[in-house]
Structure 1
C-alpha cells in the first residue's frame, strides 16, 4: 500500500470512527479527497477488514436511533436506509431492532402528544390531522387506524 493510500486509509478510519458510516458515504468522501476507482475500493476493503466499516452495524444503529430519538416509523426508516444503499439482509436486521410492542407504544404516545397540541373541537378534523401526522412520521396506515380506533 502506497503512502498516499495509507494516508487515505488513516483519514477514512477517523471518518468512520467518529460515527457509523455506509460504504457509499465513505466512497463519496474518498472521491472528495481524490481517491478513486480501485484505490478507493482497496481502502474500503481494508476498513471493512479492520471493522471500521460495517453496514449491518450502521443499519441497526440508524434504525434504532431514528425510532427512539426522532420517533420515526418503519416506512420512513426503511426509505432512508435504502437511499443510503442499504438493502436485503442488512435492512431486515435493522428492522428487527424495533420491538413490535415498543413500536405500537411509541405510536400511541406520539399520537397522544400530537392530540394535545391540536386546537380543534371537530373530532373528524382532529383524527384526520393525527393520521396525516403519523403517516408523515413513517408509520403504517393500518396500524395508525388501529391505534386511533382503540381510543374511541
Structure 2
C-alpha cells in the first residue's frame, strides 16, 4: 500500500461524499471499481469512520426521514432499500423503530386518499396493488380498506 494510492483513494472518497452521503458498502464498491486494493480501501474506510464522515447509522436515519417525507412507503420497502444499500439488520431495526404501525397506517391512508382523488372510479383491487407495490403489508392494506369503507357508509 503506497502513500500515493491512499491519497488517490482518499480524494476519490471525498469527491463522492461531497456529492452526497454514502454507505460503507457504496464506497467499498466504488473504490473496488476504481481498482484500489482491499487494504487501501480498508484503511480509507477506517479513516473516514474515525473522522465521522462515514456513518451507516446516520445515513440510514436520514434516508428513512427523507424517504417518508418525499415518497412514503411501507416498512418492508424501506427495509429492502436499506438492505440493498448495505445497511446491517441491526441498524435497520433501530432506525425503523419509530415507524410504528400507526404511522405506517396513516401514510398508507394518505396515499390511498390521494390516489382516489386523482383517479375517480379506481377499483379497490388496483388501489390495493398500488399500496402493496409501495411496500405496505396486507394487514395495513386491509386496515386502509376498512377505514375507507367505514367513511363511505
TM-score (ref. length: structure 2): 0.86
Q: Distance in 2 between matches of 1:67 and 1:140?
A: 16
Q: Distance in 2 between matches of 1:113 and 1:57?
A: 31
Over the residues paired in the alignment, what is the CA RMSD in angstroms?
Answer: 1.8
1:146 CA drift (Å): 0.8
Query: Given the alignment of the two structures, is residue 150 of structure 1 paired with residue 151 of structure 2, yes or no?
Result: no
Q: How does 1:12-51 map to 2 (within 5 A)?
A: 12-51=13-52
1:23 CA drift (Å): 1.1
Q: Indicate the SS of the match to 1:29.
A: helix
On the 8 A contact 2:83/2:89 being kept in 1, the answer is no
Q: Which stretch has the larger CA shift, 37-46 or 88-97? A: 88-97
1:103 CA drift (Å): 2.5
Query: Given the alignment of the two structures, is residue 141 of structure 1 paired with residue 142 of structure 2, yes or no?
Result: no
Q: Distance in 2 between matches of 1:66 and 1:16?
A: 19
Counterpart residue number, 2:123: 126
Counterpart residue number, 2:60: 59
Q: For residues 82 and 27 of structure 1, do their structure 2 counterparts lie closer, same or farther at Cα, with a shift above 3 Å needed?
A: same
Q: Which segments of 5 or more consecutive residues in structure 2 lack a partner in the other structure?
A: none
Runs of 4+ in 1 over 6 A off after TM superposition: none
1:18 CA drift (Å): 2.9
1:62 CA drift (Å): 1.4
1:118 CA drift (Å): 2.7
Q: Deviations over 1:19-62 (max 9, x none)?
A: 22111110111123221211111111111111111111111111
Q: For residues 30 and 91 of structure 1, do their structure 2 counterparts lie closer, same or farther at Cα, with a shift above 3 Å needed?
A: same
On the 8 A contact 2:5/2:40 being kept in 1, the answer is no
Counterpart residue number, 2:103: 102
Counterpart residue number, 2:10: 9
1:99 CA drift (Å): 5.1
Q: Indicate the SS of the match to 2:86.
A: coil
